[in-house]
Amino acid sequence: MAHETVEKTPVTLLGLGAMGAALARAWLAAGHPLTVWNRTPARAAGISAEGAKVANSAAEAVAANTLVVVCLLDDASVEEVLAGADLAGRDLVNLTTGTPAQARARADWARERGARYLDGGIMAVPPMIGVPDAGGYVFYSGSRELFERHRETLAVPAGTTYVGPDAGFAALHDVALLSAMYGMFAGAAHAFALIRREDIDPASLAPLLADWLVAMAPAVHQTADQLRSGDYTKGVVSTLAMQVAGTPSFLRTAEEQGVSPELLSPYFALMRRRLAEGSGDEDLTGVIDLLVR
Ligand code: FVH
């Protein structure tokens, strides 16, 4: 029986930090020919032993393959590393975290140099890379054609979610989700602080906290529905007026427990401002409009 050999797209990867190394290992494990470069050459030794070609310079690595993936510290390092490389005809995929404006400027910069450009925002930590069930994925935005052309290769390290032709959208989605995550961490930090001096095992609070946050998370769908309709009273269960009335109890409890209210206070202040505008029968959605300058 004849065996068909499926050629795997060769990949160039610049950057072998924690995330770059995880990406490299995922592509090698899936059989993709891989050329790598890293500023500190010692970091490439392990990947080389696993089968990657190590280029002597970033320019040499870029010249090796059409698909060039960059995963460096920040946008400034991307500029520095690619400065001496000939990008003409390259498919540049930038997985370096940055702002939407940086991504848009980098897309223009790449286009001026004759490259096609796709920006990525990684929603995973290194141990999730190359582990299909880990739930990690990458937001992509920019050239749809480029995304489709390399979709299979890009899906090797983590899932792929294309969010539009605007190169800034991957970074915007990335930062939006991570910002929400920090809000959640802030709330959890306050909760743990409240019990810190009591005879309550943090390990007994943790599952209660996790279950509660999971139970509350679907509320974002109602928020989205209200934002779309413009009616912030639609489906409201707990009115802003009722919630503002409850806030002194939260602040007094913090005081009684010797806990600074500095994580809660800014949000409560916004709720009170919205209430003062006469929006007591609304949900908390109106706070969003106070944030948008
Ligand atoms: N690791 C994580 O948990 C997060 C998950 C979400 C996405 N981020 C972003 O991924 C980018 C790379 O992150 P990383 O984890 O690989 O970061 P490091 O381990 O610190 O490696 C940084 C690499 O960048 C190289 N580098 C830094 N500055 C320069 C420069 N001026 N010129 C050339 N290369 C530079 C560094 O090289 P070296 O220090 O080994 O010589 C590493 O290869 C990042 O945007 C995260 O936000 C990761």
Cα gap 74→78, rounded to integer Å? 7
Residue ID of nearest Cα to ligand 1 atom 48: 19
Position 5 scores a pLDDT of 62
Phi and psi torsions of 268, nearest 5°? -65, -35
The tokens for 61 are 């690595």
Residue type, 37: W
pLDDT beneath 50, residues of the chain = 1-2
Residue ID of nearest Cα to ligand 1 atom 35: 77
Position 89 scores a pLDDT of 98
Position 6 scores a pLDDT of 74
Cα gap 184→271, rounded to integer Å? 18
Position 180 scores a pLDDT of 97
Position 3 scores a pLDDT of 54
Read off the DSSP letter of residue 34. E
Position 48 scores a pLDDT of 97
Own/partner pairs, 256-260, CB within 8 angstroms, 24+ separation:
257/193, 257/194, 257/195, 257/196, 257/197, 257/198, 258/197, 259/190, 259/193, 259/194, 259/196, 260/193
Query: Given ligand 1 and candidates 69, 72, 123, which is best to mutate, with the most ligand atoms within 8 Å of its CB?
Result: 72
Beta bridge partners of 94: 70, 119
Position 1 scores a pLDDT of 43
Locate the ligand 1 atom nearest the alpha carbon of residue 123 and give its number: 6
pTM: 0.93
Measured at the CA of 133, the angle between CA 153 and CA 38, to 5 degrees, comes to: 45
